Each structure stands twice: as C-alpha cells, then as structure tokens.
Amino acid sequence: MKELSGKTAVVTGAASGMGLAFADRFARAGMNVVMSDIEAPRLDEAVAGVAAHGTRVIGQVTNVADGDAMDELGARTIDEFGAVHVVCNNAGVAGNVRGGELNVAEWKWVLDVNLWGVIHGHRVFLPLLVEQGEGHIINTASMAGHLPGHGAYSASKWAVVGITQGLFHQMQGEQTGVGVSCLCPGFVSTEIHNSDRNCPEEAAPPALVEPSAEEEMRFNFLADMVTSGRPPAEVADMVHDAVLNDTFWIFTDLGMVQALKEKHDSIMENRNPQFPALPQQ
C-alpha cells in the first residue's frame, strides 16, 4: 500500500504500549482508526488522545480470545467505515513471567490471547482485504518466537511467526494484493511484564504461593529490560514504513537478530543447539 490517508486501520491491544503507538502513527498518516482493547477506561482515554490528530477514531472493548467479540469488532468496523485496509493483530500477554510450575490454565489464557487472537483476526478481516484486493496485516510476534523458551509466551510467539510467514506466502502465491508483516520486537518499553493485571482468575497462580527469591529476581530483571527498551513510537514508525514498503520482517533489535546465527548454524551443521548469546542492553 502506497497511500494511507483516508483509509482505515484496526489495532488490537490499542489502549497502551505498542498498540497505542500504532494507532497514533496511523492517525498521523491520515487514517481512520478502530482501537480495540480489553481495558475499557484506558481505551477511552487512548481514543481521545489519538482522535486529536483530526481523523475519525473509535474504540471497541474486545477480548481477542473470544471469536464472537472479534466478529463484533469486524462488523462495527464495516458499519462505521465501510472498509478496512490495515489490521494490526497486536494484543498480547506475557503470562506468569516469574516462572514456577507449569500452569495449564495460564497456558490456555496466553495461547488464547496471543495465538487465537491472531487467528480470529485473520478469520474476520482477511476475507475483507482479499475481496477488495488491497490491504495489509501486521502480526505482533516477538524475538521470543525465534529463541528457545519453555513457556506459553514463547510457544505462542513461535506459532505466530510460523503462521504469519505461511500467510505471506499464501497471499503472494494467490496474488491477492494483500501485504503481510511479522513484527518481532526485542525489548520495547511497554507494560507487557504486568499483563497479568488482566489475567482471568482461573489462570492466576495460587494467591498463597509466594514467589521465590529467584523468581522475584527474574521478574525484576525482565521488568528493567522492558522498561528501558525501545520507545513504542519508534516501533510504530517501523510498522508504518513496512506497510508502505510491503516489508515482511520487522525487527527492532538487530543485535538480537545476529544472535540467532548460532541457532541457524546448529541446524545446518546438524548439532545440538546452544543458547544464543544475547547482546547486553
């Protein structure tokens, strides 16, 4: 897509962090924006801020894990604007980043949001983009989708990377005119480490179980890395440019990308992998 002004973008997870930055960037490009999030008060405030750029901006409270709610998001988008052109499947949660025992309910919550939210986004919006022969989908994955990790977040992001690349090949092969991008952020200054504020009760760790000193140290380290990460507005500029230039991969940290060389070398050499040496912040 070479022209965004006057067209419509849908962004999930838009009340804060990268989603809010995406919505703001697209509004500054002259797009109408549908902002979706599960947190109603925050969403209202975010919509008011983005609308200050002068385009039409609406908010829709949506749980992306709920297929019916995503259908409602698609229907309202068409009712309000008649078309959709850019879709950012961005809503995501980290789960219990302190670690501990594997919690099946927590895994289900994380996969429902991070993976099924993307799947529902494809199901609802992709036919509209294909029918009009124009549009772009951006799926927010993560560098965690390329690195080893025995957790729900890593599993969900590996899946998003895979299906997004598959969608890209499908859209190219069928010559649909629909572009696809896979956003793989490193550390970005968001509140992803506190996403358990929206955790359903059944997926939360038992209240009586205090995190160990090691688990608390792991959380604090991650929180520091995230909060000192790249500003979301810079990532939004990269996403905006990827839509205009029809770019598939969007990496925010090329040092992390370089660290993947060990992984790919071990595959080519058929040897056991070592954990990549990540660059220091």
Q: Any bridge partners for residue 11, and if so which?
A: 35, 88
Count of domains forming the chain: 1
The verdict on residue 75 lying in a domain is yes
pLDDT in tens, 138-147: 999 999 999 9
Instruction: Give me the DSSP letters along 195-246.
Output: GGGG--GGGSPPTT-PPPHHHHHHHHHHHHHHHTSB-HHHHHHHHHHHHHHT
Q: Any bridge partners for residue 12, and if so which?
A: 36
Active centre residues (catalytic): 153
Count Cβ atoms below 10 Å from residue 193 Cβ, excluding itself.
17
Is the predicted pLDDT of residue 82 greater than 60, yes or no? yes
Share of the chain above pLDDT 70, in %: 89
Name the residue range of residue 157's domain: 8-268
- Alpha helices, DSSP H, located in the chain: 17-28, 40-51, 67-81, 104-114, 116-132, 152-173, 213-227, 232-245, 254-258, 261-268
As given in the structure block, the two tokens for residue 261 are 């060389």
Helix (H, G, I), strand (E, B) or coil at 37: strand
Higher pLDDT, 197 or 116: 116
pLDDT-derived band at 208, boundaries 50, 70, 90: very low
Give the span between the Cα atoms of 80 and 62, in whole angstroms.
16
The verdict on residue 275 lying in a domain is no
The verdict on residue 278 lying in a domain is no
CATH code: domain of residue 197: 3.40.50.720
The verdict on residue 183 lying in a domain is yes
The verdict on residue 226 lying in a domain is yes
pLDDT of the residue at 252? 96
The verdict on residue 1 lying in a domain is no
pLDDT-derived band at 59, boundaries 50, 70, 90: very high
pLDDT-derived band at 280, boundaries 50, 70, 90: low
**What pTM was estimated for this model as a whole?**
0.91
Give the span between the Cα atoms of 74 and 28, in whole angstroms.
23
**What is the signed CA dihedral for 56, 60, 66, 68, rounded to 10 degrees?**
-80
The verdict on residue 2 lying in a domain is no
Q: What is the DSSP letter of 251?
A: E
pLDDT in tens, 9-32: 999 999 999 999 999 999 999 999
The verdict on residue 273 lying in a domain is no
Contact call for residues 21 and 49 (beta carbons, < 8 A): no
Q: Are strands 135-140 and 86-89 parallel, antiparallel or unpaired?
A: parallel
